[in-house]
A and B are shown apart, each in its own frame.
Chain A
């Protein structure tokens, strides 16, 4: 089982409105790209050719939204095989998805739904992660989700739940700093304490993104620049954990590529400044 996670610098989410610019310019400021796995695993050959072309200049990391690791329904084996095939084709440094479930009773909500965090769900997820890792022949990387509700029968904090999963399965974490901020706001926990609890060795990637604040709650919309408070939390994370591959997500109201590049430059500058300070 592959278990090395190289530091690959600063990357961007690969999104359709930017394909032509990226292919034409091959921007040097971007050190790697992250794809949404589901946008490609069932796509026609032209998309795979596009990735093969891009792969010559950039590492491409795969990020899924449909694994439904928290579900109690059997895995979609065809889905897993498609993920595995694409990961092999593009030599993905790692494959990630979310700590969530996406549906039940054969229905798919196309959302990252929250699960209760307790011993029962922990045991279930441990066995599911082992099964996925066996199929993919590589460690799974799991992202902390943004959530809008917590369950009364949760007995473990999300960060402790994630740490336990890593310890018991060897899986790794994609730490979404914006999601930590969003969930901390929504549930009233301390974002820095959350980050403190995650061991540095478990984190292979960081996500940054914008969100929408509605006063009573925040929704993780990925449709705006990263806010100052999230930049500060990112700086705190880098100061605590050191150099970690970082990428900026922008999935709705996608602006011109230059705007996204500017966000990436901000992330790089933020991390570099911390590095100098340490």
Chain B
């Protein structure tokens, strides 16, 4: 068994390290071409496969950086990051971390974060949304004591640039300016089998952040307003409408 195991390891290592030196010796001479050429089908195929998988999840980043720049970045990622999971759809998701480590372009980082989040939220586990009817029978004080959990397939994001607006324009095929350096807040979640990107005012983002940190509604409101007195008025004026909107749009999960 040891010989067989070693043979498989050598073959796989040769592909991942793009070095067929040890493998070629084990290959029978083919009727046409040579063993090196044949092994290259596997090494090239590996790189093409992973490159295509990553590229497919980052179309907006490709547009922003340009095809060649992204190609090189992904090629480096593929060389430094062997895939470890059977599901190839998982491989592109952590490319975002690579962009954060290897790029100095904040906009590129933010677009990659957004596209990575969309891909991961698309794949995450399902959860049942809290139905609006659940809230209709609640007294205000009961609602205040409620713990509202995010949908399992969700992420709260904040950006230093209008990354979400840029993505929206990209998908609409519009002429794009580089994203403006303005903050943008987003709840990305899967609802009715579709990934939704819901833009939030700053105060609403902070409130959701507190709720999702495990604070009850009343506590979360107190925490946000005490930490950001300038937002008190905005929150007071909008909080009811926000909750109605969020509940109707399936922001929250049942506790089960």
Measured CB to CB, the residues of A under 8 A from B are: 38, 42-46, 49, 66, 70-72, 76, 79, 101-111, 113-116, 120-121, 124, 148-154, 186-188, 215-217, 219
Contact = CB atoms under 8 A, between A and B. Distances in A.
Contact of B86 (A44, A66, A152): A66
Contacts of A148: 38-39, 41-42
Binding site secondary structure of chain A: loop
A152 B30 contact: no
Contacts of B7: 116, 151, 153
A118 to B, nearest CB: 8
Given A44-B123, A111-B45, A72 B4 contact: yes
8 contacts: A44-B123, A46-B193, A66-B87, A110-B53, A149-B39, A154-B28, A215-B32, A219-B45
B31 A188 contact: yes
A129 to B, nearest CB: 16
Interface in B196-242: none
Interface string B98-112: 000000000000000
B133 interface: no
Given A217-B33, A217-B41, A44 B153 contact: yes
B89 A42 contact: yes
A131 to B, nearest CB: 15
B3 A120 contact: yes
Given A44-B126, A72-B8, A149-B39, A108 B83 contact: yes
B27 A150 contact: yes
Nearest to A221: B45
B177 interface: no
A155 B31 CA distance: 18
B61 interface: no
B146 to A, nearest CB: 25
Interface of B: 1, 3-5, 7-9, 11-13, 15-16, 26-28, 30-33, 35, 37-39, 41-42, 45-46, 49-50, 53, 82-89, 122-126, 153, 190, 193
Given A101-B8, A110-B83, A187-B31, A151 B16 contact: no
Contacts, number: 131
A79 B86 CA distance: 8
A261 B27 CA distance: 39
A171 B149 CA distance: 47
A42 B8 contact: no
Nearest to B27: A149
A103 B49 CA distance: 14
Nearest to B91: A110
A107 B9 CA distance: 10
Contact of A76 (B9, B35, B86): B86
B86 A216 contact: no
Nearest to A76: B86
Contacts of B123: 42-44
A71 to B, nearest CB: 7
Contact of B11 (A72, A104, A186): A104
A103 B12 contact: yes
B4 A124 contact: yes
A149 B28 contact: yes
Nearest to B15: A109
Given A148-B42, A187-B31, A217-B30, A107 B86 contact: no
Nearest to A43: B123
B122 A217 contact: no
- A38, A106, A116, most chain B CB atoms within 10 A: A116
Contacts of A45: 126, 193
